[in-house]
Chain A
């Protein structure tokens, strides 16, 4: 810790809420040392360790890999570990839990809804028939890998859900990350499960809720481009629709 007398400080206004005790969320201000190299997560950890142990937040890796520390920083969905204090100093920083999720406590939100949505699109490789292990691995060329690589970078940090206005208006919407991951497996040359995923992905709670606002892709810390994934899925579903209309005897896709 730097010399306290000359240390400049920055104020964090953090949303505090314990649904079991508080009738409504409130903001609590904390003055923390301003350090050039500190991110918002460092400041929150400092508060938790030095000022107020009751503050509750999620974090793990501190390096934009684990996706645990998603939060609203001045109203924008960000990873706490990637939002530098110096980009806000000397103004105060308002920190809130991820928007559009129920609050469990303070900055910790309820992920069950998302987990159910994620499972519903079955984001894993589905084979009509598994080949025996002795027959070796499923080979894939670099070009086949490149088709879905970007969509596979998702760390489930849920910034895209907090940024998506459709998620706010339509809580049942599968949402950007779940659809991007469905598309990731649909594009995988080893996968044969697209038809199964279509049941959910192209339903009324799936891709057709999206109005291509594009904020999901703006806030994504891993450059997954969920909006692009949804557009691809819309085009593919539309082709299916016309194919079925014009060629109904052609059997299932």
Chain B
């Protein structure tokens, strides 16, 4: 029987799920809640400070992982949600659109972080 290529998508989906569940909420809390509500010192989101932080390769790598993997997680979920909703017979098209979007997002992220 045909060997499946699902493992690559599933592993990106799983890794993205871990990032989305553990790291994304921290960032939502910091930048979406704590920051705007003034719970953090005003200089916490100072532009120069964040720019300095992002100039370090490890921070960029972190941002890359933080953005890219959840894109694959979302792509996989959307793909199978559409299948479960009854969109059948266009498996290849769905896969290309969903994972293509995640790959495009990943490339854009990599480009921005590289040139930052």
Contacts and interface: CB of A to CB of B under 8 A. Distances in A.
B2 A238 contact: no
Given A165-B84, A169-B88, A238 B7 contact: yes
A60 interface: no
Interface residues of B, number: 15
A242 B3 CA distance: 13
A156 B45 CA distance: 59
Interface string B50-92: 0000000000000000000000000000001001101010000
Contacts, number: 43
A237 B10 CA distance: 10
Contacts of A208: 4, 6, 10
A204 B83 contact: no
B37 interface: no
B88 A241 contact: no
B84 A211 contact: yes
A221 to B, nearest CB: 25
Contacts of A200: 1
Nearest to A200: B1
A199 interface: yes
17 contacts: A169-B83, A169-B88, A200-B1, A203-B4, A204-B4, A205-B1, A206-B4, A208-B6, A213-B84, A234-B7, A234-B10, A238-B7, A238-B11, A240-B7, A241-B8, A241-B11, A242-B7
Interface of B: 1-4, 6-8, 10-11, 14, 80, 83-84, 86, 88
